[in-house]
Amino acid sequence: MLVDHTVTINAAPPDVFDSYVRVEHWPEWTETVTAVRRLEPGPIRVGARTRIKQPKLREAVWEVTEFDPGRSFTWVSRMPGLLSTARHVVTAAGDGASVTLSVEQSGVLGPVVGLMTKRITERYLAIEGAGLKRLCER
């Protein structure tokens, strides 16, 4: 099951992406993330892992599987029977940026977990998008 959310931000796409990719700072601008710990030093890249704690959700380790500098990154979190994939895409939109955030649940448990978490996922993506917008537009 795929859930996504798009927000338009009045800021240059490279600036938006640079703010977004600094995942260790997410707890400062979104209430959907309470703790972040990078598991490898250096910038986000394919293979980089990050432990994230979110309210009402199980703590998870996310591993970057795709990285397009200045444009997007995708990471996954695995548990038996479930693969969670989160995509973060920044594109130019007029004088600003369009950001699409998405979470997809797949695997044997994907449809059930996706259905059970759909509302909180929709809410969290909207809150995260609004937080990123506030951060980048100030």
What CATH number is attached to the domain comprising 52? 3.30.530.20
- Overall number of domains in the chain: 1
DSSP H helices, the chain, are 13-21, 26-29, 110-137
91-102 pLDDT tens trace: 999 999 999 999
Distance CA 130, CA 15 (A): 16
9-43 pLDDT tens trace: 999 999 999 999 999 999 999 999 999 999 999 99
Q: Which domain holds residue 94?
A: 2-137
Q: What is the pTM of this model?
A: 0.94
